[in-house]
Amino acid sequence: MENSVRTAPCPPTALATDLARLSEILGGLPIGIAALDPDCRIVFMNKALEDLTGFTSHEAAGIPCHHVLRCGLHLRGVRQVETPGRGDEPVKGRETDIIDRHRHKLPVRVTRIDVRDEQGVAFMFLEAYEDLAPLRDMERRLKDASGAGELISRGEAMERIKKVLPAIAQSDSPVLVTGETGTGKDLSAQVIHKASPRARGPFVRVNLGPMPEHLLEIELYGRVAEEGEAVPGCFQRANGGTLYLSELADLPAAHQAGLVRVLDDQTIIPAGSDKGVRVNVRLIAATHKDPEELVRAGVLREDLFHRLGAVRVHLPPLRDRGEDVEFLLTHFLSRFAARFKKDIKGFSPRAIRILRSHCFPGNVRELKNIVEYAAMICQKDMILPAHLPGHILAALKADQSPASGRPGDNRGRKRS
Ligand SMILES: Nc1ncnc2c1ncn2[C@@H]1O[C@H](COP(=O)(O)OP(=O)(O)OP(=O)(O)O)[C@@H](O)[C@H]1O
C-alpha cells in the first residue's frame, strides 16, 4: 500500500493512512479491487486483482488504468478511457471482458464507486472486478445437461424410458443400450452420464467398428512408454466417468473376454506392460442388433452379455413412437429456423402428410437431417414439399406406384 499512496497525487495524508488500512482489509477479499486517481491512474490494487492482471500493485501504481485493467470499460470508443465522475454513466454491475495475465479474455462484472471529500468532490474511484468465469462455466454445464443433450419425446414409449433413466443413472451398473441406428443410443448414454454422480467426470465415446486388432488393444487399454510414447486407452481417459462403447457386436471375441475381466476387477493391463492399472469407469455399451440373437450366433459372448445386460435400455424405432414424429418435426424446425435466422412458422399440410407417411429408416437422426435440410433451403414462411430432400419424394413415388400396392404410406418399411 505504501507505494500506491506514494503515486496517488490527490488523497490527503489522512486518507493515505486510511488507504493503507483499507488495502490491508481489501487484500483478503476474493474479488479484485482497484483504486484510481482522478486521472484514471492506478493508485493500488488488491491481491485478487494482482493475480488476475499479473501486475503487482507496486508495478501498476501511477500507470494509466487501461494499460493494466484491459477491459471494455477502459478501452472503449474514441475517448479510450471512460472517465469516472465526468458525465459517464455510473458503472454498476457492468458485464465485460478483461484480458488476464495469460492474455485470455475473462468475463467480469465491474462496479465503480466515487470516493468524495467533504465538499463532495470525487478524488478517487474504487473499482470492483468480479470473476464471472465460474458462473459462465456452470451455466454452460446446465445448458448441456438440459438443452442440446435432451431426449425429446411426447409419446408413451419414450416417456416410459425417460422415467427410468434417472434411476439407472444413480446405480453404477454397466448398461446395454439397444435400438436401431439413429434411435438415440448415444444420446441416452449421455443423459445417463449427466444425471449420474459421475457427471463431473469425462464421458468418453468409442466406436468399436472395424479397427485393426493391435490398434483396438491400444484404443481400449493404452500402451506404456517403453514401446514409444505412452498412450492412454479409453478406460484411462474415462477414469472417474463413463465409457460409451458403440457397436459392441464388432468387438472380436478375444477382446470381449478382456472386457469381462475389466468389468469384474476394474483393472486394465496396457500394451507393453504386465502390471494392472486400476480404473474407475462405468461402462455403457450399445448395439443396433438383437443381443440375444448375437449370443445364439456366437458373436457375443454369453458371459459379457450377462454382465452388460443386467440393465437394459431398448429404444424403439421412430415408426413405433406414434406422436413423436410430429413433435420432433416441430421441435427441430424451431431449432434450425432459429439457427438459420429464418421465420418459418411450420410445415404445409401436404409436406406434413408426406413426412407422416415416411418410415424414417434412419430414425431420429434422419428426421433431424431432413428438417435441417428443409429449413436451410426454405425461403418461405412454411416448409413445402419442394423443400424436402429428393429421396423422401422418390420413396413416396415408389410407394404410390401400382406395383407397390401401398398408396402413399411407407411407414411399415423397416430399415434394411
Ligand atoms: N429423442 C431425441 N431427441 C432429440 N434428439 C435426438 C433424439 N434421439 C436422437 N436424437 C438425435 O439424433 C441423432 C442420432 O442420435 P444418436 O447418435 O444418439 O443415435 P444412435 O442410436 O446412437 O445411432 P447409431 O447407432 O447410428 O450410432 C443425434 O443428433 C441425436 O442428438
CA-nearest residue for atom 18, ligand 1, is 184
- 152 pLDDT above the threshold of 90: yes
Per residue in 125-141, pLDDT (tens digit) is: 889 999 988 777 666 65
Residue 13 lies in a domain: yes
Q: Do 252 and 115 have their domain in common? A: no
Residue 141 lies in a domain: no
105-116, strands of its sheet edge to edge? 42-45, 32-36, 122-131, 105-116, 94-99
pLDDT band for position 82 (50/70/90)?
low
Q: Do 207 and 285 have their domain in common? A: yes
pLDDT of amino acid 414? 44
pLDDT of amino acid 102? 84
pLDDT of amino acid 142? 53
Q: Do 268 and 174 have their domain in common? A: yes
Residue 201 lies in a domain: yes
Q: Do 335 and 363 have their domain in common? A: yes
Beta carbons within 8 Å of 22's beta carbon, 6+ residues apart:
1
- 99 pLDDT above the threshold of 60: yes
User: pLDDT: is 120 or 240 the higher one?
Assistant: 240
Q: Which of 255, 285, 314 is the last residue of a domain?
A: 314
Q: Among the ranges 8-17, 75-84, 231-240, which has the highest mean pLDDT value?
A: 231-240
DSSP for 133-201, written as a single string: HHHHHHHHHHHHHHTTT-----SHHHHHHHHHHHHHHHS---EEEE-STTSSHHHHHHHHHHTSTTTTS
Q: Do 337 and 261 have their domain in common? A: no
Rounded to the nearest whole angstrom, what is the distance from the C-alpha of residue 286 to the centroid of ligand 1? 12
Question: CA 306: distance to chain centroid?
Answer: 33
Ranking 89-103, 164-178, 368-382 by mean pLDDT, the lowest is: 89-103
The span from the CA of 63 to the CA of 39, in Å, is: 10
**Set of cell numbers at residue 388:** 424436402
Q: Do 222 and 340 have their domain in common? A: no
User: pLDDT: is 88 or 252 the higher one?
Assistant: 252
Rounded to the nearest whole angstrom, what is the distance from the C-alpha of residue 310 to the centroid of ligand 1? 23
CA-nearest residue for atom 12, ligand 1, is 365
Q: Do 185 and 79 have their domain in common? A: no
315 Cα nearest atom in ligand 1: 21
Residue 154 lies in a domain: yes
User: pLDDT: is 84 or 36 the higher one?
Assistant: 36
Contact between 111 and 128 (Cβ < 8 Å): yes
DSSP for 347-364, written as a single string: E-HHHHHHHHH---TTHH
Rounded to the nearest whole angstrom, what is the distance from the C-alpha of residue 182 to the centroid of ligand 1? 5
By most ligand atoms within 8 Å of CB, the mutation choice from 364, 369, 370, 372 for ligand 1 is 364
Helices (H), 28-129: 47-53, 57-60, 65-68
The finding on whether 184 has its CB within 6 A of some atom of ligand 1 is yes
The span from the CA of 14 to the CA of 348, in Å, is: 77
pLDDT band for position 8 (50/70/90)?
very low
Q: Do 114 and 206 have their domain in common? A: no
User: pLDDT: is 362 or 146 the higher one?
Assistant: 362
pLDDT of amino acid 364? 97
Q: What is the chain's mean pLDDT, rounded?
A: 84
Q: Do 25 and 132 have their domain in common? A: yes
DSSP H or E stretch at residue 244 = strand 242-246
By most ligand atoms within 8 Å of CB, the mutation choice from 327, 335, 365 for ligand 1 is 365
Q: Which of 75, 101, 136 is the last residue of a domain?
A: 136
CATH of the domain at 168: 3.40.50.300
The span from the CA of 343 to the CA of 378, in Å, is: 10
Q: Do 130 and 185 have their domain in common? A: no
pLDDT of amino acid 69? 92
Contact between 360 and 319 (Cβ < 8 Å): yes
Residue 409 lies in a domain: no
Residue 159 lies in a domain: yes
Per residue in 102-116, pLDDT (tens digit) is: 888 888 999 988 888
The finding on whether 321 has its CB within 6 A of some atom of ligand 1 is no
**ipTM score for this prediction:** 0.99
Residue 289 lies in a domain: yes
Type of residue found at 414: K
Number of domains the chain is built from: 3
pLDDT of amino acid 296? 96
First to last CA, the chain: 76
CA-nearest residue for atom 23, ligand 1, is 182
CATH of the domain at 106: 3.30.450.20
Beta carbons within 8 Å of 178's beta carbon, 6+ residues apart:
185, 286, 287, 288, 289, 290, 291, 312, 313, 314, 315
Per residue in 181-234, pLDDT (tens digit) is: 999 999 999 999 998 999 999 999 998 777 777 788 889 999 887 656 788 999
Range(s) of the domain holding residue 79: 2-136
Per residue in 348-406, pLDDT (tens digit) is: 999 999 999 999 999 999 999 999 999 999 999 999 999 999 888 877 766 665 555 44
Angle at 299 between CA 298 and CA 300, to 5 degrees: 95
pLDDT band for position 75 (50/70/90)?
low
Reduced to 3 states, what is the DSSP secondary structure of residue 66? helix
pLDDT band for position 244 (50/70/90)?
very high
pLDDT of amino acid 234? 94
Q: Do 270 and 357 have their domain in common? A: no
What percent of the chain has a predicted confidence (pLDDT) above 90? Answer: 53
The span from the CA of 250 to the CA of 246, in Å, is: 9
The span from the CA of 366 to the CA of 372, in Å, is: 10
Q: Do 167 and 290 have their domain in common? A: yes
Per residue in 37-69, pLDDT (tens digit) is: 888 899 889 999 999 999 998 899 999 998 999
Phi and psi of 301, rounded to 5°?
Answer: -65, 140
Residue 190 lies in a domain: yes
